[in-house]
């Protein structure tokens, strides 16, 4: 039902049972286009696209503007109430968990695809945009383009190393770049044929990074992103959209992609098992692992409902919507 322009969805008894009354330390934020392919940006209707939040994994509340191209969201590590959202117009910011919003980039910095905040210098925010890297030194008030050393500027993914201030990895159109001086200079650390769609740092070992690409399979680094190797058993003939570490279990990883479905590893990436059975198609935009609920996995097939599994992908059930493109699923701490 819709209350005061916001959508609330009861996901069913199976969610209440699977959660088992567990105490949840994070809110789930979802960036989704649920309006269908004929939607017009900014026009409200019965199906609101953009940013959603769930406090209990059962009810989802729409936040902010209706927007069909809301690509990713992240939070300020020093203040989880401050969120940054990458969307077609640039970067949207809220300082109060979605009560109010403001576009903080100008007309010359649009189509932000990803965004990351430096936990050691939370005033420093980095966004990947089609013509490089947008950097703010004042929590999004002002922005500067900082691409020195990047040959092909299109940037799809960006990630600040949580162990060092100013150390950032960027996944671009033709490789992975590294800066260790806060984006003043960049150097190529891994060439790729096409786009690097996702960069992740292990929550268990900060030296370990996991990347997925559109034509080079998955890549692995054990030296903080300085050198990379191909992950065996991951195909390079599929566009892979994202990969994730399980925050509870260092042996578990997951990735998804176009035609690749959902693939999981329970031995640190040595072998992979297909967990697509039960989903309506193998074209999957996004997967996510719940940090609060053991075995909880989410998958977003293209133009299908958002699905959930409570046995790490062995079985799947519909969670939300009937036709959606989910661009991101992010868990933000409540404190």
Angle at 97 between CA 93 and CA 98, to 5 degrees: 65
pLDDT in tens, 105-122: 999 999 999 999 999 999
Closest CA to 115 of 95, 87, 141: 87
- CATH-assigned architecture of domain 70-206: 7 Propeller (2.130)
Domain parsing of the chain, residue ranges: 70-206
Q: Quick check: 272 pLDDT over 80?
A: yes
How many CA atoms lie within 13 Å of 93's alpha carbon, on the beta-carbon side? 20
Q: Please choose, from the candidates 174, 178, 167, 179, the residue with its C-alpha nearest in 3D space to the C-alpha of residue 194.
A: 174
Instruction: Identify the pLDDT of residue 335.
Output: 83
Q: In the predicted model, what is the mean pLDDT of the chain?
A: 91
Whether residue 324 has pLDDT greater than 80:
yes
Say if residue 8's pLDDT is above 50.
no
* Percent of the chain topping pLDDT 90: 88
- Which own/partner contact pairs does 312-316 have at CB distance under 8 Å and 24+ positions apart? 312/252, 312/264, 312/275, 313/254, 313/262, 313/264, 313/275, 314/275, 315/278, 316/278, 316/279
pLDDT at 123 (0 to 100) = 97
What is the model's pTM? Answer: 0.91
Nearest by Cα to 52 from 41, 40, 66: 66
Q: What is the pLDDT of residues 171-227, one digit of tens each?
A: 999 999 999 999 999 999 999 999 999 999 999 999 999 999 999 999 999 999 999
**Confidence grade of residue 38 (pLDDT, cut at 50, 70, 90):** low
Q: Report, as an integer, the average pLDDT of 308-312.
A: 97
Is the Cβ–Cβ distance between 227 and 209 less than 8 Å?
Answer: no
**pLDDT, position 41:** 52
Number of H helices, E strands in the chain: 1, 29
């Amino acid at each position: 039902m819709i209350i005061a322009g916001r959508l609330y969805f009861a996901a069913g008894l199976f969610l209440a049972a699977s959660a088992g009354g567990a105490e949840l330390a994070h809110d789930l934020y979802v960036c989704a286009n649920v309006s269908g392919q004929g939607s017009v940006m900014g026009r409200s209707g019965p199906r609101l696209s953009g940013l959603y939040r769930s406090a209990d994994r059962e009810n989802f509340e729409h936040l902010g503007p209706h927007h069909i191209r809301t690509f990713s969201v992240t939070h300020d590590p020093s203040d989880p109430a401050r969120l940054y959202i990458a969307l077609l117009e640039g970067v949207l910011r809220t300082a109060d968990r979605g009560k109010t919003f403001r576009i903080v980039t100008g007309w010359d910095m649009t189509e932000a695809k990803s965004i990351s905040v430096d936990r050691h210098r939370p005033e420093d925010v980095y966004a990947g945009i089609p013509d490089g890297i947008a950097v703010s030194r004042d929590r999004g008030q002002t922005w500067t383009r900082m691409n020195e050393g990047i040959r092909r500027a299109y940037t799809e993914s960006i990630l600040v190393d949580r162990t060092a201030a100013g150390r950032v990895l960027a996944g671009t159109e033709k490789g992975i770049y590294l800066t260790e001086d806060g984006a003043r200079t960049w150097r190529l650390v891994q060439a790729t044929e096409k786009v690097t769609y996702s960069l992740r740092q292990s929550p268990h070992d900060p030296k370990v990074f996991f990347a997925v690409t559109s034509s080079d399979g998955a890549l692995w680094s054990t030296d903080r992103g300085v050198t990379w190797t191909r992950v065996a058993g991951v195909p390079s003939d599929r566009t892979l959209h994202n990969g994730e570490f399980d925050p509870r279990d260092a042996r578990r990883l997951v990735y998804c992609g176009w035609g690749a479905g959902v693939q999981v590893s329970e031995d640190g990436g040595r072998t992979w098992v297909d967990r697509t059975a039960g989903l309506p198609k193998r074209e999957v935009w996004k997967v996510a692992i719940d940090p609060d609920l053991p075995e909880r996995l989410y998958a977003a097939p293209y133009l299908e409902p958002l699905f959930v599994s409570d046995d790490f992908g062995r079985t799947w059930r519909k969670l939300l919507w009937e036709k959606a493109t989910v661009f991101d699923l992010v868990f933000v701490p409540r404190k």
